[in-house]
Structure 1
Amino acid sequence: MADFFDRSLGIGYLGGTLSLLTLLFASLLTWRLVMGSVAVESITTRKAELFYWVTIMFSQTLGTALGDWTADSAGLGYTGAASVFGGLLLLLSVAYYRTKMSHTFLFWAAFVLTRPLGAALGDFLDKPVAHGGLAVSRFTASFVLLAFIAVCLLIFPQRASRTQH
């Protein structure tokens, strides 16, 4: 879908990114106006779940377009783009623990930023060396990422939330 906006519509990475950002904001705003909340914890009906999945679709597509734009058009390359999105995610983590910013806002911001980070890292692994990548096969890159995720799950076990809603 990101390629449809970027290439098929001929509006480029920036145009596709801005269009998808607008659709994401429209989805979140409509969801908020209709359901009263965009918090994941509030998804208890089919209607709320529909809003959730539409928002997920736009956020993931936006992330792909944003990652491509940052790595290619903005000239940061794959490692530069990954550094930008990794740094932004780190700032969101600090905000989560050190400020009273809305956790719902921080969740959606982090959710959007994980996609371009993943796209930039994935492209870095499998794109040709001449284009700034490592030219690792997609199978090997997928295995490396799977192993990384497994190690992270072992090192950082998930726990149920301790906060009252």
Structure 2
Amino acid sequence: MSADISAAVPAHGPTGAARPRPRPRRNKVPEVTPYFWVIKILCTTVGETAADLLNEKLGLGLTGVSLLMSAVLAGALVAQFRTAAYRPGVYWSAVALISVVGTLLSDNLTDNLGVPLEASTAAFALLLAVVFVLWFRSERTLSIHHIDTARREFFYWLAVLFTFALGTAAGDLVAERLDLGYSLSAVLFAAALAVVAAARSTRALGAVGSFWTAYVLTRPLGASLGDYLAQPFTDGGLGIGTVLTSVLFLAVVLVLVVFLTVTRRDVAAPEDGGPQEG
């Protein structure tokens, strides 16, 4: 009966003019496709090598570089929050910059404050858990398919920042403190990602849990790959250098972002049903 009544009532205001229907809110992040993970790992590698490069070349010191890149990141996030929907160039610029800042955040604790990697890894894991708890208590979901309000977007980017910082600390802990080296560390984190993928395919791990676990693990994977390429032979790397490694990976990211901007392969179709998790 209610459906019949609503169908019979015209969508007009008191003056007879048609009432504008509210526009559906659009998701501010891309769909999780293979392109998503490839670009995310590449941005992670750039974050590691670019942080090292800036720290070496700018002469501002670790603290000065951290303040500068935090200011640049703030500008990128302002641009991201002002967009009405997902824009590949704006979104991935923010991810690349937050990768740099997350790396610098972890490096500051280790190099400037002398915090052990075990402690910083645990601290960032705790902070990430707190963000997830507050996010879920506020929104009743951690779904990335519905980052369509300013509050959800705030929680999303805060979680992303702490995943990068956590991944940096955990990656350094494994590669340097445990002395496994960059190449073996990359293999180890790739194997961990394979376990997450297998758990997801067998439904032993849910969509939300598998996504955020993979998001954390891709950070040390990309960082280990970047260090392996950039660091000198004496330190267990290939000696390509931070400049060339950063430029090469940034070029690939740029090509992929332009491709996605044109093809919109990572933009979800409008949903007819309820929210999906993942």
What interval of TM-score do these two structures reach, taking the shorter chain for normalisation?
0.7 to 0.9
Q: Which residue of 2 aligns with 1:32?
A: 136
Percent identity at matched positions?
31
Q: Deviations over 1:12-68 (max 9, x none)?
A: 211111111111111111111111111111322111110111111111111111111
Q: Which residue of 2 aligns with 1:54?
A: 158
CA distance in 1, matches of 2:252, 2:201: 25
Uncovered stretches (5+) of structure 2, i.e. residues with no partner: 1-104, 260-264
Please, which of 240, 252, 257 is the counterpart of residue 136 of structure 1? Answer: 240
For the pair 1:68 / 2:158, whether they are aligned, the reply is no
Which portions of structure 1, spanning 4 or more consecutive aligned residues, are displaced by more than 6 angstroms?
Answer: 147-151, 159-164
CA contact (8 A) 1:6 1:15 kept: no
CA contact (8 A) 2:190 2:221 kept: yes
Q: In the TM superposition, what is the alpha-carbon distance from 1:143 to its structure 2 partner?
A: 4.7
Q: Deviations over 1:93-148 (max 9, x none)?
A: 11222224210000000001111101111011111111111110223323554577
| RMSD of Structure 2 on Structure 1 (CA) | 2.5
Range that drifts further, 107-116 or 39-48:
39-48
CA distance in 2, matches of 1:137, 1:11: 27
The TM-score with structure 1 as length reference comes to 0.85
The TM-score with structure 2 as length reference comes to 0.53
1:161–1:84 distance in 2 versus 1, CA, 3 Å: farther
Q: In the TM superposition, what is the alpha-carbon distance from 1:160 to its structure 2 partner?
A: 6.5
CA distance in 1, matches of 2:268, 2:139: 23
CA contact (8 A) 2:175 2:185 kept: yes
For the pair 1:92 / 2:234, whether they are aligned, the reply is no
Structure having the higher helix fraction is 1
Q: Which residue of 2 aligns with 1:127?
A: 231
Range that drifts further, 94-103 or 83-92:
94-103
Of the two structures, which has the highest relative contact order with CA contacts closer than 8 Å and spacing of 6 or more? 2
The residue identity in structure 2 corresponding to 1:109 is: T
Range that drifts further, 95-104 or 65-74:
95-104
Range that drifts further, 9-18 or 69-78:
9-18
Q: Which residue of 1 aligns with 2:181?
A: 77
**Whose Rg is larger?**
2
CA contact (8 A) 2:183 2:225 kept: yes
CA distance in 1, matches of 2:234, 2:174: 18
Q: Which residue of 1 aligns with 2:146?
A: 42
For the pair 1:9 / 2:113, whether they are aligned, the reply is yes
CA distance in 2, matches of 1:10, 1:142: 27
